[in-house]
Amino acid sequence: MLQAHESGSASDALCVIDVLFEVPPSGIVEIGSISASEFLEIPSGLYQLRYECYDPASSPTPRIRLLFHRNTKPRFYVVRTDSELDRGTDLLLTASPEAFS
């Protein structure tokens, strides 16, 4: 089940990354993985989207959390990372939904 969260961050998350996210005028966003997807409805506009990834050993299923915080000046920021992300490498910081359709 997907829920829109306003704020908060768990201290036990292994990886926390903030990114700019724009919700279209329809307010419908599809969140998905390789095997499944679900639709989430939230008010349109600019958001600071926080991605949190948790230790898979602490749960029988992998767990991530997405937090949408309305923000007129969202930014990219690596809050916390595990050893799989090298902060010294160049990261692609732009994308558009059209590139994936």
**Per-residue pLDDT tens over the stretch 20-41:** 999 999 999 998 888 889 999 9
Q: Reduced to 3 states, what is the DSSP secondary structure of residue 76?
A: coil
Is 16 within 8 Å of 79 (Cβ atoms)? yes
The confidence band for 10, taking pLDDT boundaries of 50, 70 and 90, is low
Question: What is the average per-residue pLDDT within 35-51?
Answer: 92
- Which is more confident, 44 or 101? 44
Residue 41: predicted pLDDT: 93
> What pTM was estimated for this model as a whole?
0.72
Residue 6: predicted pLDDT: 41
Residue 50: predicted pLDDT: 92
24: Cβ–Cβ under 8 A, 6 or more apart, which residues? Answer: 44
Single-letter amino acid code for the residue at 84: E
Is 20 within 8 Å of 46 (Cβ atoms)? yes
30: Cβ–Cβ under 8 A, 6 or more apart, which residues? Answer: 37, 38, 39, 40
Residue 23: predicted pLDDT: 92
Question: What is the average per-residue pLDDT within 89-99?
Answer: 66
| In the chain, % of residues over pLDDT 90 | 28
- For residue 87 the two structure tokens come to 């902060």
C-alpha span between 54 and 63 (Å, rounded): 6
Residues pairing with 69 in the sheet: 48
